[in-house]
Amino acid sequence: MFKVNYLLLTAVAALNCLYSAGQDVQFEMVPSAAQSFFLRNDENAAGWYMQKTNTVPSGAIVSSVTFQAKNWLPATVPGTVLNSLVNNKVYPDPYFGDNNKRSRHLIPDLQDVGNGFYRYWFRKEFELPEAYSQKKIWLKLHGINYRANVWMNGQKLGTMAGMFEAGDFDITQIVNRKGKNVLAVDVLPVDVPGAVYRNGKTRTGAVGENNNGGDGAIGKNVTMLMAVGWDFTAPDGIRDRNTGIWRDVEIYATGNVKLQHPFVQTRLPLPDTSYSLQTVSVEVKNTTGLKQKGVLTGAIAGTAIRFETDIELLPGENRQVVFRPENYPQLRMKHPKLWWPLYKGDPHLYSIQLQFRQGKAISHGLSTRFGVRQIQTDQHTPDSSRRFIVNGYPVFIRGTNWVPEAMLRSSAERTRTELRYTKQAGFNLVRLWAGGIAESDAFYNVCDELGLLVWNEFWITGDTRFPQDTALYFKNLKATINRIRSHPSVAYYVASNESKELPGTKAIIHQLDSTIGYQEQSECCGIHDGSPYKYENPMQYFENTASPRGSRVDGFNPEYGTPCLPLAESLREMMPEKDLWPVNDSVWNYLDGNGFHNMNTKYREAVNQFGKSASIDEYARKAQLVGAMNYRAICEVWNYNKFSWGDRFASGFLFWYHNSPLPQTASRMYDWYLRPTAALYYAQNGLAPLHPQFDYYKNTVSVYNDYRKSFPGCTLEAAVYDLNSALVYSLSEKVDIPADGLVKDALKLHFDDTLTQVHFIKLRLRSPSGREIAASFYWRSKDEYKGAWTMTGPAVSGFADINKLPRASLSARAKKRAINDNIVIDLRVKNTSDKISFFTQIRLTDGKRAVLPSVYYSDNFFSLLPEETRIITIEVQKKIWDRVKQLSVAALNTNEVVVRH
């Protein structure tokens, strides 16, 4: 058993890369019934069109089948008004260069031009499939922003308000069963757009964080608050505040009785996990004016669990039906397979099918997935910091903050790609920051599959005002909780970011879902304030002085992070060539949240420590070294202090933030174009579940373990090499690695004056049989660290000699295989020289640029010792394989090798 576990460890990276597609996520929202289709722009039907509301007749006329939408613009649905206007070349793309800069006056701002400017009709023609005859027909708008008047076939269906509640309309008596139908939606912007910049009056908000939230007035709406501008996104805001039909529009069919809001609650008699108790509830609605009788049935796939009850509903009655294990003993599941977060076990998912049957006919059926898990939080810690407990087991949180795509240019495929990168990096929790959105069904489905916990916040921040329509806020809140609560990934509810709750929030959430914890804001109740956010000297992470607000590497920190410059090919896509090199500070600063993250100051200074660059390509490549160093250092310093194993007690941290909401010079583990930076792979190394790590401040080597089992009898090895790749010395030590713990300072390295200015450290961890099960590689300088707030020390300064690295040589060969809908390349890369191949990058391109999206490398930007071999797995979707023209490998000190594939 012990040997098998060690063999499993060696495959972790490849398994993270080779991840099955799971449920179909073609759409961001799950269909509401078996008979369902989404009204999108496609080749086989008329598309969506849009026109300003004040330039066309009434809704009755616009939605009539005889109306001719002449001179209307093609519309992007799901999407926003501004996205459609940009796609129609009315305005330039706000994402390119500094087009969105307010002072350039290229795109009108909602606050300046008034709400009517971005108020538009959206119109779509469609026909019903023949299979929908004799059915109740429903229209569901899964999300609009911010208000809407909904019309069909000349009749008004109703209104909608708020960004996070779907509108569900019975169109049975209105829809044409044969022939053309017309849906017309009059969409209004937010009630209070808010000013992008503060007006000088005192208001709440973090000091030094630019103009986050503008003047704060955007918070009076129930909407995406970051649309007014924040230092990590468009600093001048999104001009239309994301007005539009931003989520899918669905037509679906049911019988006379339909089901809503299924919920499976699981309870474990902890510490006993030999059985679980399931409580199943669902709302059953009679959609007619007559009594309806039938049988509500339920079945859990893969088990023998079946249950049912007879129901009689009064006309129009909506009843919640609950199946409890005390009344239905079969809901006591023996030996359940548990759902676990990343590295703690398998995130097993069950599927439950609920149906309302009337005779032999199924009026409506719903299928939902759930996991048997129990998530708790408490403050029973040495410093009263919050900790998370899953299935009775404390989990050290190595999480991250998620911010949405700035202009809602998202998709199910983009969501899956971003979350796969999140898992690959090794994060186990994703915080949905309150200034963003209520995420899609696809988001939660993928988190369920990947074992990612989700911390949910609800659209109130300390930088903005409170919603002025509290009833509307609570309607949106209830709709969101009802939609997400059955997902096993849902781990925590938080009312706001750095603010207060609206009174009554806790009671509403508890009424709808009492299975997991709640707190009123992100920085309370055992969770302290966050920072740093900008580029800082990585030595300060180890020294614990990276934030002027005080000690940060202790307790639970909700925001701790740093940026990484994108690759050169992405920089070329985000700005004109003339602004790339020499660097145009004005444009680069604008794409850094007006310079908030120090990309043109400290980050540039750190890049220049590797020697002055002669081109943007050289600069961007060296910038990857800076990002790689910082991301891994942050991960490792938190590893070290896990649950008092190191110098302090820490229960978790959330990286701020790991994804890019729009093209920016202050990118992250991957940029907006979904090109991974070196930061992704060095976070992956730093957060590897079994990891030997080097402390630049203490010069010690420790071993981190995130698994729930121990690893006795291992050997830790450290080797130091000089700039010429000569072995200077090596050390080794037998270590017994505790379960979910740390071997603290197992080795102490020394660096004397005879060592070359730049040198390298290779760490290996071996099983008792001598098999390598984990490794890491570091570069270091001889520079002295002169204290916090300086740009000095062995992790940041004195690296110019990297340019003097002796040349190495590489060979590579590839084998291609097909797995399901993917092409998988097993690439064997070998250093064929006696010199270190430093910072080796693999590129799969169309001949010029990286092939995107959904291309995954199990590792990249790695270094190889002389004669060392590494096998990298690359996964590519079959549907984009024809775009692949070249596979190449090159290090900073080698020639490029083109690989036959």
557-574: average pLDDT: 96
Cα gap 221→235, rounded to integer Å: 20
Percent of the chain with pLDDT over 90: 90
Cα gap 128→180, rounded to integer Å: 8
Give the model's confidence band at 18: pLDDT under 50 very low, under 70 low, under 90 confident, else very high.
very low
616-640 and 678-686 helices, crossing angle to 10°: 20
Mean pLDDT of the chain: 93
pTM of the model: 0.95
* Helix, strand, or coil (residue 273): coil
Q: Is the pLDDT of residue 277 over 80?
A: yes
Task: Tell me the one-letter amino acid at 479.
Answer: A
519-528: average pLDDT: 94
Cβ atoms of 89 and 96 closer than 8 Å: no
- As given in the structure block, the two tokens for residue 686 are 């730093």
Q: Among 387-396, 463-472, 527-536, which stretch is predicted with the lowest mean pLDDT?
A: 527-536
Angle (CA) 539-545-551 rounded to 5° is 140
List all residues 6 or more positions away from 774 whose beta carbon is below 8 Å from its beta carbon: 9, 688, 690, 691, 692, 764, 765
Q: Is the pLDDT of residue 45 over 80?
A: no
Cα gap 166→176, rounded to integer Å: 23
Residue 204: its pLDDT value, please?
52
Q: Is the pLDDT of residue 265 over 90?
A: yes
Residue 853: its pLDDT value, please?
81
Nearest to 642 by CA among 547, 700, 555, 528: 555
Q: Is the pLDDT of residue 5 over 70?
A: no
663-694 per-position pLDDT tens digit: 999 999 999 999 999 999 999 999 999 999 99
Cα gap 105→116, rounded to integer Å: 19
Measured between alpha carbons, how far apart are the two ends of the chain, in Å?
37
Beta strands at 555-560 and 361-370: parallel, antiparallel or unpaired: unpaired
Examine residue 146 and say whether the peptide bond preceding it is cis (omega within 30 degrees of 0). yes
615-651 per-position pLDDT tens digit: 999 999 999 999 999 999 999 999 999 999 999 999 9
Q: Is the pLDDT of residue 864 over 90?
A: yes
Cβ atoms of 157 and 169 closer than 8 Å: yes
Residue 851: its pLDDT value, please?
85
Name the E strands within 418-505.
429-432, 453-457, 490-494
Beta strands at 690-695 and 727-737: parallel, antiparallel or unpaired: unpaired
Give the model's confidence band at 15: pLDDT under 50 very low, under 70 low, under 90 confident, else very high.
very low
The neighbour count for residue 552, using CB atoms within 10 Å, is: 24
Instruction: Return the half-sphere exposure (C-beta side, CA atoms, 13 A cut-off) of residue 549.
Output: 14
Residue 75: its pLDDT value, please?
96
Residue 456: its pLDDT value, please?
98
Residue 210: its pLDDT value, please?
61
Give the model's confidence band at 209: pLDDT under 50 very low, under 70 low, under 90 confident, else very high.
low
Radius of gyration for the alpha carbons in the chain, expressed in angstroms and rounded: 28
59-85 per-position pLDDT tens digit: 999 999 999 999 999 999 999 999 999
Residue 49: its pLDDT value, please?
97
169-174: long-range contacts at Cβ-Cβ below 8 A with a sequence spacing of 24 or more? Answer: 169/138, 169/139, 169/140, 170/136, 170/137, 170/138, 170/287, 171/137, 171/138, 171/139, 172/135, 172/136, 172/137, 172/138
Cα gap 757→773, rounded to integer Å: 30
Beta strands at 181-188 and 147-152: parallel, antiparallel or unpaired: antiparallel
